[in-house]
Amino acid sequence: MKIIKKLSLSVVCLVLVQLWVVDSRAQQNEPAKPFFKDGEAQIVKAFEDPDYWIREDLWVETEFDSDGDGLLDRMHVDVTRPRQTESEGLKLPVIYNSSPYFAGVAGNNPEFFWDVKQELGEKPKQHVHPPEIQRRGERPIISKAQIKTWVPRGFVVVHSSSPGTGLSDGSPTVGGDNESLAPKAVIDWLCGRAKGYKTRRGNEEVEAYWCTGKVGMTGTSYEGTLPLAAATTGVEGLEAIIPIAPNTSYYHYYRSNGLVRSPGGYLGEDVDVLFDFIHSGDLDKRAYAREHIRDDEMKNGQDRVTGDYNDFWAGRDYLNDMEPMKAAMLMSHGFNDWNVVPEHSLRIYEAAKAKGIPCQIYYHQDGHGGPPPLSMMNRWFTRYLFGIENGVENDPKAWIVREDADHDHPTSYADYPNPDAKPVTFFLASGAPEKGALVIEKPTKQPEETLVDNYSFSSEALAQAEITGHRLIYVSPELKEDLHISGKPKITIKAASNKPAVNLSVYLVSLPWNNSQWRRPKITDNLITRGWADLQNYKSLRESEPLKPGKFYEMTFELQPDDQVIKAGQQIGLMIISSDKDFTLHPKPGTELTVDLNGTSIEIPVVGGAEAYNKAIQ
């Protein structure tokens, strides 16, 4: 009996093994296809091995000639796709990433930036241009970004170098029309409407027969701008975009309410500097681009003398081009991004929402970059590229990473700004050169207060100073409870200068300053938000006029959007300075800026409004 039992057990095991082998062979013979769980595309083992990916490059013909050679520009494109798109005829959607950076850049040597030590309104001294960029990279791979994330999940990943960079024809225009039409052409090729070629100037065509005709785009910074640029063309097949910290207006990047302002960390950069930074294209074509784009269009259009808004800037503002846009959009940004400031995302999100475009916004508390959680991106692309009904369009509109959370655990809200936020108006009570008061009941007539401009003092030093004549600061009572701010503060300031021009910088800070012993304090530890303006533009962004010394002018402008919980024990401080060491031009110290406290106030968006604020200070 024991022998019979052992034999029976052996037979059972043998049968199970044979069944497993048959089942495995059946799975291997079955065509590989995308797999979904919980509304997300899952990793498919058959797509996971890089040795079984097909990598190729080609050139897509555009509808423009931006390098003056009489030929339509062609964009260099690479493709990474599962082998099953060839061996089994599998068609897949595309994740597309375009960039001016893939072939290398000139570097950020301040020697090649504009000198910010100049008097306001004067013509700046011409800066030095950097040496030639030596293109990097080996064909057929332009970039490896996005590939490991999306190819195993059943997407094809495509990259392209933007005009005048890498092996793409054309000229960089830093926000010009060709930078929108170039990714449009690639999407047209993916959808069978444009021609692709095996070589840069050859006639042997390449077709994207493996593409379903559904395309999504993503990228960070300039690479986040280009998905929006493509979407504003209304190109068919671009179903969804996830821009991360995108520059949506070059005026808002290099100017602020009429003021010449640098992006954080790049003091003295401007459009022509960025042109030099990315211009890695054909050496033989660079002279044309420099002469016609950089030294003509950009030099005349960027206007570092007045800082006024003009047609040059209007043509580089994607908000003006959104009428054709229909791609679903998940926007991502950081509230402490002082390179591409957070208004860039909000202005586009609000416009997309007004158009009825499916959209969500994700904000975190850190600096430049920072994508949404992978799961959130996956759900977005799965819904709009594969058509899986996962309900993402019904998710909350806004996702905010709270101060003590990591990027993968945002808090959901009905929208941004928080729908429960209401503007609370604060007035100023005198106190210079020490601290004045920030109050919600307008005080009786207050004196005028004056500060003396001196760019050599940082905003951090001025916020912490007990007594100084180089800033004015007004603080609220100490908060007894946490206070939630959500939205864009708006200041109305009545001020005069003793000179025809003056820098104006406004900060909202949380005091006392964080002097933690275990890490170096940063401005972002105590910064709520900030903004900059030129009083000469008090009437219009397009037309500035010299100030009459001693005459008071009233100007209203918004500070950068924020969403922050100010902790109990802190005070809210409104700080007014003139030149901002890290952002503005640096005129010689000594200009006097006088503020009429009776004509100055600030609206702060408080969740719960005045009632919540009064409760927090009692």
Identify whether 145 is part of a domain.
Answer: yes
Kindly name the residue from 221, 505, 579, 601 that is annotated as catalytic: 221
- CB within 8 Å of 33: residues ≥ 6 apart: 44, 90, 154
One domain for residues 523 and 390: no
One domain for residues 375 and 426: no
- Residue 510: pLDDT band (50, 70, 90) is very high
> Is 380 in contact with 347 (CB distance < 8 Å)?
no
How many Å apart are CA 438 and CA 113, to the nearest integer? 39
One domain for residues 186 and 239: yes
- The pLDDT, as a whole number, for residue 390 is 97
Q: Is 76 a catalytic residue?
A: no
- Residue 29: pLDDT band (50, 70, 90) is low
One domain for residues 496 and 594: yes
- Residue 326: pLDDT band (50, 70, 90) is very high
Tens digit of pLDDT for each residue in 556-565? 999 999 999 9
One domain for residues 400 and 500: no
Residue 299, token pair as written in the block: 């030099």
Cβ burial, residue 331 (10 Å; 0-12/13-18/19+): buried
- The pLDDT, as a whole number, for residue 515 is 61
Residue 300, token pair as written in the block: 């005349």
Average pLDDT, the chain: 94
One domain for residues 433 and 402: no
Domain count, the chain: 2
- What pTM was estimated for this model as a whole? 0.93
Query: Which one of 364, 381, 413 terminates a domain?
Result: 413
Identify whether 131 is part of a domain.
Answer: yes
Average pLDDT over residues 322-348: 98
Identify whether 26 is part of a domain.
Answer: no
Query: Is the model more confident about 194 or about 517?
Result: 194
- Residue 3: pLDDT band (50, 70, 90) is very low
CATH code of the domain containing 118: 3.40.50.1820
Average pLDDT over residues 508-516: 85
Cβ burial, residue 319 (10 Å; 0-12/13-18/19+): middle
Q: In terms of residue numbers, what domain contains 535? A: 421-617
- The pLDDT, as a whole number, for residue 525 is 76
Average pLDDT over residues 158-162: 98
Minimal CA–CA distance to 230: which of 209, 216, 244?
216
Query: Which one of 387, 413, 439 terminates a domain?
Result: 413
Average pLDDT over residues 476-497: 98
> Is 61 in contact with 74 (CB distance < 8 Å)?
yes
Residue 68, token pair as written in the block: 């003056």
Q: What is the DSSP string of 186-219?
A: HHHHHTTSS-EESSSS---EE--TTEEEEEEEEE
> Is 505 in contact with 574 (CB distance < 8 Å)?
no
One domain for residues 106 and 246: yes
Tens digit of pLDDT for each residue in 548-598? 999 999 999 999 999 999 999 999 999 999 999 999 999 999 999 999 999
Kindly name the residue from 368, 476, 510, 544 that is annotated as catalytic: 368
Average pLDDT over residues 289-311: 97
Kindly name the residue from 270, 337, 562, 563 that is annotated as catalytic: 337
> Is 44 in contact with 153 (CB distance < 8 Å)?
yes
- The pLDDT, as a whole number, for residue 518 is 38
Identify whether 11 is part of a domain.
Answer: no
One domain for residues 406 and 458: no
> Is 39 in contact with 98 (CB distance < 8 Å)?
no
How many Å apart are CA 301 and CA 310, to the nearest integer? 8
CATH code of the domain containing 492: 2.60.120.260
- The pLDDT, as a whole number, for residue 257 is 98
- The pLDDT, as a whole number, for residue 107 is 87
Q: Is 484 a catalytic residue?
A: no
One domain for residues 343 and 292: yes
- The pLDDT, as a whole number, for residue 30 is 65
Dihedral angle of Cα 351, 323, 67, 143, to the nearest 10 degrees: 50
- The pLDDT, as a whole number, for residue 16 is 39
The alpha carbon of residue 89 and the mean position of all alpha carbons in its chain are separated, in whole angstroms, by 38
- The pLDDT, as a whole number, for residue 432 is 97
One domain for residues 469 and 376: no
One domain for residues 274 and 305: yes
- The pLDDT, as a whole number, for residue 490 is 98
Query: Which one of 362, 381, 413 terminates a domain?
Result: 413
- The pLDDT, as a whole number, for residue 14 is 40
Identify whether 438 is part of a domain.
Answer: yes
Identify whether 25 is part of a domain.
Answer: no
Identify whether 28 is part of a domain.
Answer: no
How many Å apart are CA 234 and CA 485, to the nearest integer? 36
One domain for residues 359 and 484: no
- The pLDDT, as a whole number, for residue 523 is 52
Identify whether 16 is part of a domain.
Answer: no
To the nearest whole percent, how much of the chain has pLDDT over 90? 92
Average pLDDT over residues 492-517: 91
- What are the angstrom distances between the C-alpha of 470 and each of 337, 519, 573? 26, 28, 16
- The pLDDT, as a whole number, for residue 108 is 87
